[in-house]
């Protein structure tokens, strides 16, 4: 994707929707990460862009994005994941610089179990169809 990182733009979008603060310069105690999930904090959301698929007709390029949610309890992680699903599934429009034709959930949330820090983690995969243009 030219000069834009879908995972970063989705992380920023989740921040705009009120899910937390994205990691970055000057951000204290971030709760939204992109690219790689750190071992802490206990409660966080991570957006990871996977390898995308072939272009969808003339609409644009498809991308696969995995969203990870970690929390101190399964119920809390599940509630956050369901809320993110309601916010993203079927969404269209413009993130920061990427025109999105549609976002669709590819799977039900997958329970990854408890990590070494006794936190519950879930993941869900989405397909993002980005239109062929990137805004300046």
**Domain 6-134 listed as CATH 1.20.58.220:** no
Average pLDDT over residues 63-68: 93
Query: What would the pLDDT profile of 74-92 be if each residue is shown by its tens digit?
Result: 999 999 999 999 999 988 8
- Domain borders along the chain are 6-134
Mean pLDDT is highest, among 9-18, 25-34, 127-136, for 9-18
Q: Taking the model in full, what pTM does it have?
A: 0.86
The enclosing H or E element of 83 equals helix 74-88
With beta carbons less than 8 A apart as the criterion, state whether 125 and 65 touch: yes
Q: What is the pLDDT of residue 53?
A: 59
- Scored b (16 or more CB within 10 A) or e, 73-107 reads eeeebbebbeebbeebeeeeeebeebbbbbbebee
Task: Give the residue with greater pLDDT, 58 vs 103.
Answer: 103
């Amino acid at each position: 994707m030219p000069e834009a990182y879908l995972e970063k733009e989705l992380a920023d979008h989740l921040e705009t929707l009120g899910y937390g603060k994205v990691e970055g310069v000057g951000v204290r105690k971030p709760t939204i990460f992109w690219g790689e999930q750190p071992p802490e904090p206990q409660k966080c959301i991570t957006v990871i862009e996977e390898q995308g698929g072939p272009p969808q007709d003339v609409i644009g390029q498809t991308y696969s994005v995995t969203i990870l949610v970690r929390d101190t309890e399964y119920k809390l992680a599940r509630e956050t994941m369901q809320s993110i699903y309601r916010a993203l599934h079927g969404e269209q429009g413009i993130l920061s610089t990427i025109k999105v034709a549609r976002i669709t959930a590819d799977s039900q949330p997958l329970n990854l179990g408890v990590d070494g820090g006794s936190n519950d983690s879930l993941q869900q995969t989405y397909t993002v169809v980005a239109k062929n243009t990137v805004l300046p």
